Amino acid sequence: MAHCNLCPAACGADRRTGTGACGGGAKARVAKYGLHPYEEPCLSAGGGAGTVFFSGCALRCVFCQNYTLSHGNAGREVSARGLCEIFEALEGMGAANIELVTASHYLVQLLEAFRLRRPKLPVVYNTHAYETLPALRALDRYVDVWLPDLKFYAPSVSARYTGKADYFARAYPAVAFMAKREAEFDGERMVRGCIVRHLVLPLNSGDSVEIVKRFADLRSGAYLSLMGQYTPCGDIAAFPELSRPITRREYERVLRCALGLGIERLFAQKLSSANKAFIPDFSEDRPLF
Ligand code: SF4
């Protein structure tokens, strides 16, 4: 916490007294928690995924659909005990799991909470994958389902949308680590495993094809979730290509590549999911959906 290097950005912030480039300080910040019915079916099985949305982000894509959280740091500080109470509340709501959304910059606080009270439901770790291997190893015994996003392949693409040319070089080893987790189900619900997500972006299907090829190279038992839900959001005025949803042709190019490579553990999305109705409502005093 005195010289933070939790993520590959290694900004060196003193988080005991201030915040890092991700917005993370001494205590975890949570923007909202509740039941999420629109994750992959095996994660939202039954009552819905028990999502906890953390504030701040180490990656900060310009098109983030949770921009007020990731860039604006909206939310409130929560102690380790408070995190345990949130997990307990989600268990009481009938959640399928405890899904931690973009929590990697709060590793220290998460470990403290897990040591106080380990959740009774499978823990799902939803991450942008801009992670270090030591951080993932520290979490390994507490996480049941890894849910990384493998976002960009070309350094020029990740630099354009996040300022981080080293994204793939950092994220790929992290995803390779997470993809080793064997899948286990309890009925329709995934209780252990790894789902690697990829969001297809407008005018970037060539980059997406490279991601799918690299995923296939892993030859793991992980599932691939190809997301077509891109909806213009965030601070994209300087990125005219991001001002529209993806086309059917763009999505099908990537899907064809996955099928052609023999990837059978695959989630595909209807393009009608590119709708702001499926983005959580982060305003105060409203449920997630
Ligand atoms: S987690 Fe945040 S504070 Fe720590 S190195 Fe990364 S950006 Fe900096």
pLDDT tens digit sequence for 34-60: 999 999 999 999 889 999 999 999 999
CA of 152 to the centre of ligand 1 (A): 20
What pLDDT was estimated at residue 272? 75
Q: Whose CA is nearest to atom 3 of ligand 1?
A: 20
Domains of the chain: 28-275 (3.20.20.70)
CA of 162 to the centre of ligand 1 (A): 15
CA of 52 to the centre of ligand 1 (A): 20
Pocket test for ligand 1, best of 5, 6, 107 (most atoms within 8 A of CB): 6
Residue 19 CA, closest ligand 1 atom number: 3
CA of 251 to the centre of ligand 1 (A): 33
CA of 1 to the centre of ligand 1 (A): 9
What pLDDT was estimated at residue 53? 96
- Output the furthest CA–CA distance in the chain (Å, rounded): 52
CA of 59 to the centre of ligand 1 (A): 10
What pLDDT was estimated at residue 280? 74
pLDDT tens digit sequence for 59-109: 999 999 989 989 988 899 999 999 999 999 999 999 999 999 999 999 999
Q: Which two tokens stand for residue 97?
A: 């799991």
CA of 125 to the centre of ligand 1 (A): 18
What pLDDT was estimated at residue 201? 98
3-state secondary structure of 145: strand
Query: Residues near ligand 1 with C-beta < 6 Å?
Result: 4-7, 9-11, 13, 15, 20-22, 24, 58, 105
Averaged pLDDT of the chain: 95
pLDDT tier at 279 (50, 70, 90 boundaries)? confident
**Is residue 159 within 8 Å of 60, Cβ to Cβ?**
no
How far, in Å, CA of 251 to CA of 21, rounded? 33
Evaluate if pTM is beyond 0.85: yes
**Is residue 64 within 8 Å of 57, Cβ to Cβ?**
yes
What pLDDT was estimated at residue 19? 96
Q: How many Cα neighbours within 13 Å face the side chain of 289? A: 14
pLDDT tier at 289 (50, 70, 90 boundaries)? low
Query: What are the φ/ψ torsions at residue 272 (nearest 5 degrees)?
Result: -65, -10
pLDDT tier at 250 (50, 70, 90 boundaries)? very high
Pocket test for ligand 1, best of 1, 4, 17, 107 (most atoms within 8 A of CB): 4
3-state secondary structure of 56: coil
**Length of the chain counted residue by residue:** 289
Task: Report whether pLDDT(213) > 90.
Answer: yes
Share of residues in the chain with pLDDT > 70 (%)? 96
Average pLDDT in the 19-33 region? 96
pLDDT tier at 276 (50, 70, 90 boundaries)? confident
Helix (H) or strand (E) holding 52: strand 49-54
Residue 13 CA, closest ligand 1 atom number: 3
pLDDT tens digit sequence for 136-188: 999 999 999 999 999 999 999 999 999 999 999 999 999 999 999 999 999 99
What pLDDT was estimated at residue 249? 96
DSSP string, 221-238: S-EEEEE------SS-TT
Pocket test for ligand 1, best of 22, 108, 162 (most atoms within 8 A of CB): 22
pLDDT tier at 274 (50, 70, 90 boundaries)? low
CA of 136 to the centre of ligand 1 (A): 15
- Residue 187 burial (CB < 10 Å; 0-12/13-18/19+)? exposed
